[in-house]
């Protein structure tokens, strides 16, 4: 009788583990989920996911902007151009910056064909 109880007790411990393991397993035939597709789309859209050779080979700039820094927002500069329009210029580790800009500094920014800042240069004569 004790032997039967011990066998049942072991079965009661192993059974939930087996149910959990088979319930969490996914078939290997299944393709990527919509969440994975969304994540890959986000990653491939970032400048960091693009090949370094495209960025370092001097990809042609399609636009340039000159303006005065109105605010520094962590990873972006808020700049007012000569027409009085404000532009937000985000930058990341792939953006070349000759020196960090401060409020009141005049800067010139060059953008790639996707609208990302590739170079930000200070136009102020004094090098703080």
Residue, of 88 and 61, whose pLDDT is higher: 88
**pLDDT tens digit string along 5-57?**
676 677 677 767 777 666 655 555 555 566 665 555 555 555 444 444 344 44
CATH code of the domain made up of 54-122: 2.40.50.140
Domain locations in the chain as residue ranges? 54-122
Predicted confidence (pLDDT) at residue 113 exceeds the cutoff of 80: yes
Q: What is residue 54's predicted lDDT score, i.e. its pLDDT?
A: 44
Q: Measured between alpha carbons, how far is 118 from 32 in angstroms, rounded to an integer?
A: 33
pLDDT for the residue numbered 93: 87
Per DSSP, the three-state class of 67 is strand
Q: What is the pTM of this model?
A: 0.50
Give the count of beta carbons closer than 10 Å to the beta carbon of residue 94: 16
Instruction: Give the per-residue pLDDT at 83.
Output: 93
Residue 53 is predicted with a pLDDT of: 39
CB contact at 8 A, 70 and 30: no
**Cα separation, 68 vs 89, whole angstroms:** 12
């Amino acid at each position: 009788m004790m032997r039967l109880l011990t066998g049942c007790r072991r079965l009661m411990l192993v059974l939930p583990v087996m149910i959990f393991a088979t319930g969490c397993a996914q078939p290997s035939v299944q393709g990527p989920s919509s969440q994975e597709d969304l994540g890959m789309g986000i990653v491939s859209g970032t400048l960091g996911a693009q090949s370094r050779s495209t960025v370092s080979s001097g990809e042609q700039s399609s636009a340039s902007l000159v303006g005065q820094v109105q605010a520094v927002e962590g990873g972006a500069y808020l700049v007012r151009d000569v027409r009085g329009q404000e532009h937000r210029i985000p930058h990341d580790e792939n953006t070349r910056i000759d020196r960090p800009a401060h409020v009141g500094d005049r800067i010139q920014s060059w953008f790639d064909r996707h609208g990302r800042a590739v170079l930000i240069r200070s136009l102020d004569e004094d090098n703080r």
